[in-house]
Amino acid sequence: MAKRHIETEAVHAGEPTPRIGGAVVAPIFQSAMYVDDGDSDYHDIRYIRLNNTPNHEAVAAKLAALEGADAALVTASGMAAITTALLSVLSSGDHVLVQNCLYGGTHGFVTQDLPRLGIEHDVIDACDPSSWDAKLRESTRAVYVETITNPLMQVGELDEVAAFAKRHGLVSLIDNTFASPVNFRPIEHGYDISLHSCTKYLNGHSDIVAGAIVGSSALLLEAKRRLDHFGGSLDPHACFLLHRGMKTLALRVERQNETAGELARFLHGHDGVRRVHYPGLPDHPGHSRARTLLDGMGGMISFELEGGPGDANAFLRRLTLPIVAPSLGGVESLVTRPAATSHKGMSPEEREASGISDGLIRLSVGIESADDLIADLDAALSSLQE
């Protein structure tokens, strides 16, 4: 059969065949354990913590299909996926190269927890391949990047990272949360492991926390062994919700790409806005890379107002549609000030050096009408100028 499109895979891939009891929707298996005759290997005993109930298998097969990978594993959170994957690749004495602007939890894990296990790291600029060789050590085992970084939406030389890893025998890992499989499929670009916070676009409804590790069967077997021991397993009810959310992934993300593009252009043209960070805008530093690498520019925008941090808070209070809350990727638009939420752990100097001003506003575009969102942004911006 011809390769199916992602819209079709989102609905049909991984569904149990034959359908269980004829049910069109795979039911929730709310059972911790299953009949076992004692012949199974430990990791194959069916048990929720061993990540192999029918709900785990269905959602993992759908995830693998969406990214064109052999296998996938769902986890209890995005951080469970990231920490489990890194610890399945790295051992004491190893060294890992990581991108310079990581998700906060990942940054904390790499800088605070990995050193306690004897694992060192160096930071790379993913936009500058000529600087990477100098960071290699005898003990370098892996390279870790993000498809679209938070909150400045940078897009690095992603194909070059995967090629660099292959050349030097490193395992390449990428956090693909911000892009989702609709906009980028890392395995097709040569990455070994793709990671997700399914809390965001994959589930899309802001009602669960979940994660995923996607890649080759061999790497996923290693990751499952670690996850079986670490215990960061997703419960079947959350598997069911994630599975349900994923069926509409393509519809949601395609609309979010479109609306975010409209909002970014509106903000860019508004005289109350100093700067807009969106890969779809021609003046974004990663624009040409994003156009080559990504199928869509994503639903995340950040921007600074002319009035700076004081105005940013007043602006957030005057919005009536986007909800002021951290996180992203759901059907409702969410807005935050990274300096007060996701990047609060950094010192003001570190934030400034990373280009994250105190007045920066981050918008996760939902599926509301673009016209209504623009009208709401416009009204809030106008009220600041009065």
What residues make contact with ligand PLP under the rule CB under 6 A?
Answer: 77-79, 103, 105, 146, 150, 175, 177-178, 197, 199-200, 209, 211
Q: 162 vs 179, which CB is nearer to ligand PLP?
A: 179
CA distance 252 to 212: 19
Q: Tell the smallest beta-carbon distance from residue 120 to ligand PLP (Å).
A: 22
Residue from 47, 62, 103, 141 carrying the catalytic annotation: 103
Residue from 141, 200, 337, 362 carrying the catalytic annotation: 200
CA distance 233 to 29: 15
Name the nearest CA neighbour of 144 among 131, 129, 158, 128: 158
CA distance 293 to 295: 7
Q: 146 vs 235, which CB is nearer to ligand PLP?
A: 146
Q: How far lies 328's CA from each of 6, 179, 363, in Å?
A: 22, 12, 8
Q: 143 vs 305, which CB is nearer to ligand PLP?
A: 143
CA distance 171 to 166: 8
- 103 classed as catalytic: yes
Residue from 49, 225, 265, 318 carrying the catalytic annotation: 49
Q: 272 — phi, psi (to 5°)? A: -85, 0
Q: Tell the smallest beta-carbon distance from residue 127 to ligand PLP (Å).
A: 18
Q: 249 vs 380, which CB is nearer to ligand PLP?
A: 249
Q: Tell the smallest beta-carbon distance from residue 79 to ligand PLP (Å).
A: 4
Q: 83 and 110 in contact (C-beta within 8 Å)? A: no
Q: Tell the smallest beta-carbon distance from residue 19 to ligand PLP (Å).
A: 30
Q: What is the 8-class DSSP label of residue 33?
A: B
- 201 classed as catalytic: no
Q: What is the 8-class DSSP label of residue 109?
A: I
Is the Cα dihedral 74, 75, 81, 83 positive or negative?
negative
Residue 287 corresponds to which tokens in the numbers above? 């624009």
CA distance 197 to 173: 14
Q: Tell the smallest beta-carbon distance from residue 102 to ligand PLP (Å).
A: 8
Residue from 94, 175, 192, 235 carrying the catalytic annotation: 175
Q: 9 and 62 in contact (C-beta within 8 Å)? A: yes
CA distance 142 to 248: 33
Q: How far lies 122's CA from each of 111, 125, 192, 261, 376, in Å?
A: 10, 10, 20, 34, 43
Q: 106 vs 259, which CB is nearer to ligand PLP?
A: 106
Q: Tell the smallest beta-carbon distance from residue 320 to ligand PLP (Å).
A: 25
Q: Tell the smallest beta-carbon distance from residue 244 to ligand PLP (Å).
A: 17
Per-residue b/e over 157-189, b at no fewer than 16 CB within 10 Å?
A: bbebbbebbeeeebbbbbbbbbbbbbbbbbbeb
Q: Tell the smallest beta-carbon distance from residue 213 to ligand PLP (Å).
A: 12
CA distance 293 to 176: 13
- Residue 313, exposed/middle/buried by CB under 10 A (0-12, 13-18, 19+)? middle
Q: 178 vs 191, which CB is nearer to ligand PLP?
A: 178
Q: 79 vs 339, which CB is nearer to ligand PLP?
A: 79
- 344 classed as catalytic: no
- 175 classed as catalytic: yes
Q: 53 vs 177, which CB is nearer to ligand PLP?
A: 177
Q: What is the 8-class DSSP label of residue 103?
A: -
- Residue positions annotated with a catalytic role: 49, 103, 175, 200
